Amino acid sequence: MNDEKFMRQAIELSKLAVEHGNEPFGAVLVKDNEVVYTNENQIYTMKDPTFHAEAGLIRRFCMETGIRNLSEYTLYSSCEPCFMCSGAMVWVKLGRLVYAASNLDLEEILEKKGSNCSQMVFEHSNHKPEVCAGILREESINVLKNYFTARRN
Ligand SMILES: [Zn+2]
C-alpha cells in the first residue's frame, strides 16, 4: 500500500532528525504517487523553534517552486501536526494529510496535555484536507518513545 510506503519514509526521516540533533518528526510531500519533497524537524540545528517537519517542508517547497496551492498533494507526517503546522496546511489548501501517531499518543509519551489537535484547527478554518490517521502508528510511537523517554531519564 502506497500510504504505508510513503509513511515509512516519513518515519525514517524522523529517525534521521534525531541523528542530526533534532526532534523525531519527519514529513514527506507526494503528488501523483511520487515524492516531491521531504523534510525533517530542524528546530535545534536551525535555531528555529518553528522549524517543524511539516511547516518547514511547506515553507521550503513553496519558496523553491513558487507553488502556492497544494490541493493536489498529499502530506505524510510521522505524527499528527501541531496547531502551527495545521495552520500552514490550511494556507496552502493541502489536499490530503496522512499521519501516523496522533497527538494523544504524543501527549501520553510526554506525560503532559498539549491539546495540540489538528482537528481543532481544521474545524475552525475555511479549508480542511482529507485526513487519514494511524498509518504505521505503532512504528512512529516507538520512535517517539525512544527519543522522549531517553531524554526524560
Ligand atoms: Zn508543527
Query: C-alpha cell of 18?
Result: 534525531
Q: Is residue 116 scored above 70 in pLDDT?
A: no
Does residue 54 have an active-site annotation?
A: yes
Cα–Cα distance, 76 to 93 (Å, whole number): 15
- Entry pTM: 0.96
Catalytic residue among 23, 40, 54, 80: 54
Cα–Cα distance, 26 to 6 (Å, whole number): 11
Distance from Cα 41 to the centre of ligand 1, integer Å: 9
Cα–Cα distance, 28 to 78 (Å, whole number): 9
Distance from Cα 1 to the centre of ligand 1, integer Å: 26
Distance from Cα 52 to the centre of ligand 1, integer Å: 5
**Burial readout 87-122 (b: 16 or more C-beta within 10 A, e: otherwise):** ebbbebbbbbbbbbbbbebbeebeeeeeebbbeebb
pLDDT, tens digit, 9 for 90 and up, residues 31-74:
999 999 999 999 999 999 999 999 999 999 999 999 999 999 99
